[in-house]
Amino acid sequence: MKTRKPSCEHYANVVLKNAKFWNGKSFELRDEVRLTGSSSNNDSYEYDCNGALVLPALFALGVDFMEPLRDDVYTYVDGVDAMRRGGFYGAIYESAANPIDDVDKLTAADNRRPCDFNEGPGGTAYDIRFLGAYSKGFGTDSLAEMMELAPGVVGFGDGNAAIPHSRFLRLAMEYGKMTGKRFFFQPMDKTLRHSGCVHEGAYSDMLGMKGIPRIAETIVAYTVLETARFLQVPVHFKQVTCGETLDLIRNARKQGMDVTCDVGLYHLLLDDSCLETLDSAYHILPPIRSAADREALWKGLEDGTVNAISMNHTPVLRQDKVVNFEDSVPGALSLEIALPAIWQKLSERVGDARAIELLSTAPARLANAVRGENHAAAVVVLAADKPHVVVESDFAGHVCNSPLIGKELPSSILATYINGVWTDLG
């Protein structure tokens, strides 16, 4: 049973003392930094960071808050609560269950959006953008109304649905090209996936589980790239899982194509040895691949092939995880624990500046949501060396599906301050 609910206050100003503040190039120890929020409350608040890092708030790719499918269990309010706990000022929202394939659905989604979880619908503290569908209902071969959707969406994608056939892919991109928007794909060939639910590798064969081979991803990535090259359409690959796909992207860029990609948080943190536990918490799609694949993704972060880290934040009902692995629903929460889980290793491997780019500016750029000098403050206070053991109450809403529950993270979020909303997690 969850009990923890981090405090949440509205302050027009926050004074952070004794903080290592990110100045755009490096962390600089300052006695005092005054931040201005956008709260209607004129109060000011003082907080001693005790030498913790203060970095720009993050931007999430691949979040799904389940609404309106099970809004008794998880809602936009819970999702925004997760964002404030995790230090995210914005996100690209993709609903797997409720495709935004016409303007009415876009309007409905926008109206449900509570940008400040305390203020309810209509607030503006959290910047949630939407992806439109390119097919009606995801995975069909009927075009969505992309021209009408275009002004309100950051791009077009069909969630995790498979492309029905190559001709429709061509037609969708050919039509969508008129909008000038980017197409987002999670490459997965449904016939090669078959009924697989884990990475096809040594562990799946040892355990007798049906696997999803890497070529299920690369074949679709290749098809998409060839179509995009032919039509000159910008594309983005979501949650790439293996080095072979990154090689295709590298080659495409060498030929001048506008291709971007992200990799999933858990694909950087885990490998398929976790399958030995047979714990449904590790049931995530696309699948967690081998240690060699994971290392290839890290190399992609280092050499610049990977543009951003995706959260793939997917709430799953408790009862859908309390079953055996193969019958469980895939997905994991990530917003609340992403930064403390990955910061230390990420900054070690790619440096502080690139780490911030991967978690904040680069994903925001994909949504055209980069914050400028005039924006209200949005920061995270992170104790990089203070471990945190993940507990259920770290997560917002009535779900807690994460493979990191019970695990010790190397860092802790102490507080977040986003557009006037101060959250104390210390």
Partner 1 sequence: MSALQIKHLFGLQGVSKQDIRTILDNAKQFREILERPVKKVPSLRGMTVVNLFFENSTRTRTSFELAEKRLSADTVNFTSSNSSVKKGETLVDTLRNIESMKIDIVVVRHKGTGVPKFLAEHSNAIIVNAGDGAHEHPTQALLDMLTIEEKLGTLEGKNVTIIGDIRHSRVARSNLWGMSTMGAHVTLCGPSTLVPRNTDLMNHVTWEPDVKKAVANADAIIALRLQKERMDDALLPSMREYRNTFGITEELLECAKDKVIIMHPGPINRGVELDSDIADGEHSVILDQVTNGVAVRMAVLFLLAGGRNENS
Which residues contact partner 1 by CB under 8 A?
194, 200-209, 211, 278, 319, 322-327
Q: How many residues does the chain have?
A: 426
Closest distance of CB 310 from partner 1, Å: 27
Closest distance of CB 223 from partner 1, Å: 22
**CA separation for the pair 197, 163 (Å, rounded):** 18
CB 150, CB 141: distance < 8 Å: no
Closest distance of CB 264 from partner 1, Å: 22
**CA separation for the pair 24, 32 (Å, rounded):** 17
Nearer to partner 1, 73 or 209 (CB): 209
Sign of the Cα pseudo-torsion (314, 319, 325, 329, in order) = negative
Closest distance of CB 366 from partner 1, Å: 35
* Alpha helix segments (H runs only) across 150-290: 166-176, 190-193, 202-207, 215-231, 243-254, 265-269
Nearer to partner 1, 158 or 200 (CB): 200
Closest distance of CB 202 from partner 1, Å: 4
Closest distance of CB 160 from partner 1, Å: 22
Closest distance of CB 400 from partner 1, Å: 17
Closest distance of CB 214 from partner 1, Å: 11
Nearest Cα to Cα of residue 338 among 421, 283, 422, 395 = 395
Residue 7's Cβ-side half-sphere holds a number of Cα atoms within 13 Å equal to: 9
Closest distance of CB 178 from partner 1, Å: 40
Nearer to partner 1, 177 or 194 (CB): 194
Closest distance of CB 324 from partner 1, Å: 4
Nearer to partner 1, 250 or 398 (CB): 398
Nearer to partner 1, 24 or 208 (CB): 208
CB 212, CB 188: distance < 8 Å: yes
Nearer to partner 1, 29 or 202 (CB): 202
Distances (CA, A) of 279 to 29, 80, 208, 276, 323: 43, 28, 15, 8, 9
Distances (CA, A) of 179 to 131, 135, 315, 358: 13, 15, 31, 27
Which residues pair with residue 9 across a beta bridge?
A: 422
Report the alpha-carbon angle 328-333-336, nearest 5: 160
Nearer to partner 1, 278 or 391 (CB): 278
Residue 82's Cβ-side half-sphere holds a number of Cα atoms within 13 Å equal to: 32
Nearer to partner 1, 320 or 357 (CB): 320
Nearer to partner 1, 70 or 250 (CB): 70
**CA separation for the pair 91, 64 (Å, rounded):** 10
Per the rule left: phi > 0, alpha: psi between -120 and 50, beta: everything else, 207 is: alpha
DSSP H or E stretch at residue 35: strand 27-36
Nearer to partner 1, 278 or 389 (CB): 278
